[in-house]
Amino acid sequence: MSIQLSITNVTKLYPTGEGVKDINIDVRHGELVTLLGPSGCGKTTVLRSAGGFIDPDEGEITITGESVVNIPPEKRPTAMVFQSYNLWPHMTVEDNLAFSLKLKKMKKREWKEKVCWALALVQLSGTEKKHPSELSGGQQQRIALARALLLQPKVLLLDEPFSALDAKLRLELREQVREIQAREQLTMLFVTHDQEEALSISDRIVVMNKGKIEQMATPQHIYNDPASLFVAQFIGRMNFLKGEAAGNALTIGPLSLPNVKHLSGEVTVGVRPEDVVIANGKGQGIPAKVTKVMMLGHYAEVTLHTFLGVLKMFIDRNDIDHYQLNMGIAVTFTKVKSFNGQQVQMKKEEISL
């Protein structure tokens, strides 16, 4: 499919030294691409550059092949949904939705029809005469989405649109947006710091850190094969252990695994909790002591103490009875990822939100 939005070598540095450097992202027509990263990583800067609210220092942004760098936001073929305060508080829902249509000198019958269509799309028909303050947060964001859609943007930009909502609503809206996006073949650039949100709705995820792109790939690929230690830490849960790489072998305590990446010296090994399993043959696994078993719904989390450090392990909830506190077991890993260098300490809120 054709490329709808192309961001090439975009650099924007703030006086504080923060910003983004050499960002290259192509978004195809009908694709939902998510910019994911911790706060301050520059994802919003990229989005706002695309929307025209920030002038990049360098680089080119094109929409369907035409440069938009010098076009102000009111003339760009983009529409943006903000984190909050999206709706104009002094106007009714109908006025909010019809504003851009009236600016285009559309006839009343026509814009009424369009407003109706947009409200039906976000399942809020009948709220025309209400003021934003009479709607819930979720409803307001849906109206904001409808208003953005009425602009018929070539690219729809969403800046953490659900982050101010509670978890359940977030899930619902996320699904709804994905549905509308798929049905209307919309091209979307979506900013979030919630990795779960990114994994669930994106066609592709761009993981950013400190103004640079760490990895750009499908959610599956990013989860299964994180390109860097940062991505591994940021996406999903992962245990990190110290290992030693030499020749063809990767040694983690008593375990010896193939050295796929041909690293050497001290390495950090990442293991997803679901890839930690009970070792069958005796003497082959890492000895561990069960210190905590937590039921988490359709699975359970077991915390293990080993001489390599604390390990988290996911087990089937039906097997929960097999694990007792202070029980000694031996574990091995079905799949590991190895990275050069030391694990970076991240703040807790940056890892899982």
Partner 1 sequence: MSELAVERKTKKPRLNWSKKTKRSILGVSMVLPSFLLLLVLVIYPVALSVMESFKSRDGMWTLDNYLYLFTEPHMLNNIKHTLQVTVLSSVFVLTIAYSIAVYLRFNHSWIAKMVGKLYFIPMFIPGVIAIYGFINFYRDNGWIARLIGEGNLPSIIYDMKGLLMINIWFNIPFTTMLLVSAMSSIPNAVIESAKDAGAKKRHLFFQFIFPLTYKTMLVALTFLFMGIVGSFTAPFLIDRNAPQMLGVAMQQHFSSYNEIGQASSMAVFLFLLCSFVGYFYIRSNMKDSTKSY
Closest Cα to residue 63, out of 149, 152, 154? 154
Q: Give the DSSP per-residue string, 58-118.
A: EEEEEETTEE-TTS-GGGSSEEEE-SS--S-TTS-HHHHHHHHHHHTT--HHHHHHHHHHH
For residue 267, what is the enclosing H or E element?
strand 265-271
Task: Rank residues 81 and 293 by Cβ distance to partner 1 and give the closer one.
Answer: 81
Q: 35 near 194, Cβ under 8 Å?
A: no
Minimum separation from the CB atom of position 119 to partner 1 (A): 17
Task: Rank residues 131 and 221 by Cβ distance to partner 1 and give the closer one.
Answer: 131
Q: What's the one-letter identity of residue 170?
A: R
Minimum separation from the CB atom of position 78 to partner 1 (A): 7
Strand order in the sheet with 309-316: 276-278, 328-333, 286-295, 299-306, 309-316
Minimum separation from the CB atom of position 153 to partner 1 (A): 9
Task: Rank residues 72 and 265 by Cβ distance to partner 1 and give the closer one.
Answer: 72
Q: Which two tokens stand for residue 101?
A: 């249509």
Task: Rank residues 131 and 242 by Cβ distance to partner 1 and give the closer one.
Answer: 131
Which residues form the interface with partner 1 (CB under 8 A)? 51, 53, 72-75, 78-80, 82-86, 88-90, 99-100, 103-104, 131-134, 144, 147-148, 151
Q: 8 near 61, Cβ under 8 Å?
A: yes
Task: Rank residues 140 and 209 by Cβ distance to partner 1 and give the closer one.
Answer: 140
Q: 314 near 253, Cβ under 8 Å?
A: no
Minimum separation from the CB atom of position 319 to partner 1 (A): 49
Minimum separation from the CB atom of position 82 to partner 1 (A): 4
End-to-end Cα distance, the chain: 34
Task: Rank residues 22 and 134 by Cβ distance to partner 1 and give the closer one.
Answer: 134
Minimum separation from the CB atom of position 311 to partner 1 (A): 44
